[in-house]
Amino acid sequence: MAEAVNGVPGANVGHGHLKVADLERAIAFYRDVIGMRVVMLYGRQAAFLSFDDYHHHLGLNTWESLGGSAPPNGHTGLYHVAFLFPDRATLGQVIDRVLSAGYALTGAADHSVSEAVYLNDPDGNGLELYRDRPRSEWQYDEDGNPLINNTPLDVDALVTEGRAAR
C-alpha cells in the first residue's frame, strides 16, 4: 500500500449520511439508544442528528431506500460508521443502552489506542462505538508508529463504569 505523500491539516470527517428503510425506526435508535438529538427533519424523508450543537453528525434518509433491505454480505459498501465518545464512563453508558434495548454486539476489542464495540443498527449499517486512550498511554514501535492490537475487551467492566458514573 502506498504511503500518503500529503496530509490536509485541519480537515476531518464532518458527518455521515445513511440510507434507511424506516425513518422513524432509525431516528428512535439513534436518538434513544445512541444518544443523539434530532436537529432537523426534512419532511418524512430525512433527519439530521447531532451529539451536540453541531448542525449534524449523522443524516438519515429514505430517498432511495424506503422499505428496502440491507445489502447482502460480501458486497462493497460502508463497513461501519464510528462514533467517538469522550471517556470510558460515557462509552459504558451507551453500551448499556444498546444492550438494554436488545441490540447484540457483533464485536468488541481493545485496540491498545482505543476501546471499541461493534454492532449493526436496525438497517444493518455497521457501527463502532469507541473511546480513545490518552496518547500518553499509547505504545509505539521502533519507527514511531502506534502499536494497535485487537485483544478482548471487558465490556462488562465498561458497562459497570458507566452505571457508576450516573
The domain locations on the chain are 15-65, 78-166
Is pLDDT larger for residue 3 or for residue 72? 72
- Name the phi and psi angles at 24, rounded to 5: -60, -40
Q: Mean pLDDT over residues 99-104, rounded?
A: 98
The yes-or-no verdict on residue 70 having pLDDT over 60 is: yes
* Percentage with pLDDT > 70 across the chain: 97
Band (pLDDT 50/70/90 cuts) for residue 13 is: confident
What CATH fold (topology level) applies to the domain 78-166?
Answer: 3.30.720
The domain 15-65 is placed in CATH, from the list 3.40.30.10, 3.55.40.20, 3.30.750.24, 3.10.180.10, at 3.10.180.10
Is pLDDT larger for residue 28 or for residue 5? 28
Amino acid 4: pLDDT: 58
